[in-house]
Amino acid sequence: MFRTKRSGLVRRLWRSRAPVDGDGEAYTGTHGSGGCCMGKSTKVSKSNPGMEAELKSLTHSILKKIKEKQLEALLQAVESKGGARSPCLLLPSKVDSKLGQHTYSLPLLLYKVFRWPDLRHSSELKRLYCCESYGKINPELVCCNPHHMSRLCELESPPPPYSPYPMDFLKPPDSADALPTSTETGGIIYSAPGGLSDSQSHQEENSPWCVVAYWEEKTRVGRLYSVQEPSLDIFYDLPQGNGFCLGQLSSENKSQLVEKVRSKIGYGIQLTREQDGVWVYNRSCYPIFIKSATLDNPDSRTLLVHKVFPGFSIKAFDYEKAGSLQRPNDHEFSQQPRTDFTVQISFVKGWGQCYTRQFISSCPCWLEVIFSNR
């Protein structure tokens, strides 16, 4: 008759588990046409009643062994879908559980229950920078917080042959920090490592490793955002993260499409500089689209636009690979100094060969991330 707080937390967690097909919407991602998109084609079928009962029994038995404060933190992460920053859930790493014919580690089982029902192996995952277990090997304990992990994107088929396209012009806002735009991509010409102010150019230790510009169609909105911390959240409304809040920028765009896409940015993305390059994690509930020189075959003559589904991470920029790129005949790269490297990211709507929008300047809401030399 009298229910404990622990049992209440366990019940709420089970109700907040990731749905499978027929049980609710499970957005695990599907390929687009033409080989220009990125994600995993996964069809999650509804579990049979016997398997569902077995999974429920197994999950409840695991959750009942977790400390109450840890259950509260896990519930916060699950119910907010990763929007609320939650602490690590450190649990024994060598505990395995059998579900049907398969044996899963404790972390993998919790990731399947609360995020990705189709998850098969830990090699499909990447730990986020915010996790205490990032870059650390602890033989006894590992973080099992499902929102401290992301799915890994994989490149698909080789890029198609080069196809030229016309010039596309954009305009930055009339402000003191407005910089000239490149003629092909509309990108900001930014000479590393300075470019923001005279004082910053003389303070090398405080120089940003990148700057971010937010655009709505052909117009840049707000000032450039310089990034010095290794990780940055780019989101729309407070309190959806710590970092670049797009909703606080003053925009005069009255387009219904722009307003609709703005409302879908939500938690946005997380931009992180790591040892092997710069990673982008899609924190939102909708796909994002990325174009980067280091994502494609170095022999290709044009860049593809890659689709990244919610919950997925992609290494959007590779410093080592970027430094070795040689595209002397590529108009897109000849418009910018060799020290400049740029990644373009659009929210919700894609552009390029697979989409009706041929240029990113036709996308309602998008970002330009300009990297300086390390």
User: Using one digit for the tens of pLDDT, what is the confidence trace for 24-35?
Assistant: 444 444 333 333
Report the candidate in 136, 74, 130 with the shortest Cα–Cα distance to residue 106: 74
Mean pLDDT of 83-107: 87
Supply the angle between the helices 68-79 and 5-15 in degrees, to the nearest 10: 30
Q: How confident is the model at residue 324 (pLDDT cuts 50, 70, 90)?
A: confident
User: Using one digit for the tens of pLDDT, what is the confidence trace for 53-92?
Assistant: 899 999 999 998 899 999 999 999 999 998 888 899 999 8
Residues of the chain above pLDDT 90, percent: 51
Q: Specify the CATH architecture of the domain 210-325+337-371.
A: Sandwich (2.60)
Q: How confident is the model at residue 308 (pLDDT cuts 50, 70, 90)?
A: very high
Domain with CATH 3.90.520.10 in the chain: 5-11+49-152
For the chain, the average pLDDT equals: 79
**CA 103: distance to chain centroid?**
29
Mean pLDDT of 95-99: 84
List the 125-127 sheet strands across, edge first. 125-127, 149-152, 312-317, 277-282, 269-274, 231-235, 243-245
pLDDT recorded at residue 182: 36
Kindly report the backbone phi and psi dihedral angles of residue 103, in degrees, each rounded to the nearest multiple of 5, phi listed first: -110, 130
**Residue 21 DSSP label:** B
Tokens matching residue 14: 């089970």
Q: Which residues contact 30 (CB under 8 A, 6 or more apart)?
A: 39, 41, 42
Report domain 5-11+49-152's class: alpha beta
pLDDT recorded at residue 362: 96
User: Using one digit for the tens of pLDDT, what is the confidence trace for 244-294?
Assistant: 999 999 998 889 999 999 999 999 999 999 999 999 999 999 999 999 988
Kindly report the backbone phi and psi dihedral angles of residue 325, in degrees, each rounded to the nearest multiple of 5, phi listed first: -65, 135
Q: What's the pTM?
A: 0.81
Q: Is the pLDDT of residue 333 over 70?
A: no
**CA 160: distance to chain centroid?**
25
Q: Which residues contact 80 (CB under 8 A, 6 or more apart)?
A: 86
The region of weakest confidence among 43-47, 70-74, 115-119, 277-281 is 43-47
pLDDT recorded at residue 115: 96
Phi-psi label, residue 332: left if phi above 0, alpha if psi -120 to 50, beta otherwise: alpha
pLDDT recorded at residue 175: 46
Pairing of β 219-227 and β 210-216 = antiparallel
User: Using one digit for the tens of pLDDT, what is the confidence trace for 184-217?
Assistant: 334 443 333 333 334 433 445 578 999 999 999 9
Domain with CATH 2.60.200.10 in the chain: 210-325+337-371
11: helix, strand or coil: helix
Q: How many residues does the chain have?
A: 374
**Residue 241 DSSP label:** -
User: Using one digit for the tens of pLDDT, what is the confidence trace for 290-303?
Assistant: 999 889 876 666 78
